Amino acid sequence: MPHRAFFTTGPTGRLALVTDRPEVERAAAEALRCAPVPSETLVLPIDECAHALSDREDAELPDVVLVAGASAESSARCVAELRAQDERRIVPIVVLCPSDDPDLQACLRAGANAVLPSDSPGGVAEAIGALARFWLSHNRLLRAHH
C-alpha cells in the first residue's frame, strides 16, 4: 500500500496514522474532517511503520503518531520500531486499542506516550477527535532550529 495523505485541512498539525485497520482509517478521516484543528494526515500500513519517522528532518516529522494495529501486540512491535528511529523521543506516539487488551502494557513499555481506548463510549471517531484536539492543537512539537 503506498503512503498517502488522505486529506489536508490546513498547515497546523501533522498526524501519521499507522494502521492495518480500514475502519480506523475511515473513522480518522471523518473525525479529523470534523475536528476544529487544521491537519495533514499521512497513512502508513503497520508493517511500514518505521517510515513514519525515518529519514525525516525535524521540520518534516509528524506532530504525533497514532498506531492502531490489529492487536496491542502488533502495535507494541510498531512502537518499538518507531522508538528505534526516534532516539530523542521527540515525537509523541499514541496507541489506539481496546482498554481490556491483555498486551496494553506492552505498548507503554515499548515507548508509547499514551493509550487511547478504542472502546470509549463515543467510539473510535470521538477518541481520534480528542487526540487531534490535544496533540495537534494544545501540544506543540519542539523542533530543532537551524
Q: For the chain, what is the domain count?
A: 1
Which CATH number characterizes residue 56's domain? 3.40.50.2300
* Residue 144 domain flag: no
Whole-model pTM over 0.85: no
Q: Which domain holds residue 12?
A: 4-138
pLDDT of residue 141: 55
pLDDT at 58 over 80: no
Average pLDDT over residues 55-76: 83
Q: Which residues contact 140 (CB under 8 A, 6 or more apart)?
A: 63
Residues 118-140 have pLDDT tens digits of 888 888 888 888 888 787 776 65
pLDDT of residue 95: 94
How many C-alpha atoms does 47 have within 13 Å on its Cβ side?
2
Q: With contact defined as beta carbons under 8 Å apart, do 48 and 65 qualify? A: no
* Residue 34 domain flag: yes
* Residue 65 domain flag: yes
Q: With contact defined as beta carbons under 8 Å apart, do 111 and 130 qualify? A: no
* Residue 146 domain flag: no
